[in-house]
Amino acid sequence: MEGWITMHRLVLPPKRFQPCHWPIFDSIRYRSWFRHLEERREKIGLLEMARVEYRNQQSQRLDPQRFAAEKWGVDERELRDYISYFDGVGKDINKTQQHALDSAYLYYCTNNGEISFRYSVFDACKLYGIKPRHLHELWDTCPKFYPTGYSIGRA
């Protein structure tokens, strides 16, 4: 299974909390769907400030996450995901989810990145009978969830 992925190496888009300006994304930056990703990253600075506030308030408040989210005007759930991502904590990935992500990556590469990875995930999920939104969220927020054989930063 590893062989087909190494034949089709294409850079994946940044995950939700990765900046879009990193040079590894230059090869896909001109895609029409990429600008939508850039718009989502505007809150990363606020999330970082809320994460620091959360760490400062952990021992002082009953619900430091809610306090930090309200203070910095970010969604409490998104702050939770950001903190988990920043700490390198991810959810458990089962074999079906991994195979679906591998299929989505193959579809993304076969179309030379013209179709966004998000839509590739949605199409692959139909084959595996899993909820596409859940798998995309998992890929987007789990720091270690990548297609089999994919190396971060390798074009």
Which tens digits make up the pLDDT trace of 6-58? 445 789 999 988 888 889 899 898 898 888 787 777 788 899 999 999 999 88
Residues 82 and 128 placed together within one structural domain of the fold: no
Tell me the pLDDT tens digit for each residue of 63-81.
999 999 999 999 999 999 9
Residue 120 vs residue 37, higher pLDDT: 120
Its domain, for residue 137, covers 92-155
From CA 64, how far away is CA 96, in angstroms rounded? 35
Rounded Cα–Cα distance for residues 50 and 45 (Å): 9
Distance, in Å, from the CA atom of 104 to the CA atom of 147, rounded to the nearest integer, reads 9
The DSSP string of 42-57 is GGHHHHHHHHHHHHHH
What's the structural domain count of the chain?
2
For residue 25, being part of any structural domain is answered with no
Average pLDDT, the chain: 87
Here the tokens at position 120 are 């590739």
CA-CA distances (angstroms) from residue 7 to 1, 2, 95? Answer: 11, 9, 22
77 and 122 together in one domain? no
Q: Which amino acid is at 38?
A: E
pLDDT at 42: 79
Q: What proportion of the chain, given as a percentage, has pLDDT over 90?
A: 55
pLDDT of residue 58: 85
Q: Is the pLDDT of residue 154 over 70?
A: no
User: What average pLDDT does the segment 83-97 reach?
Assistant: 90
Q: Do 103 and 145 fall into the same domain?
A: yes
Residue 68 sits in the same domain as residue 106: no
| Predicted TM-score of the model (pTM) | 0.81
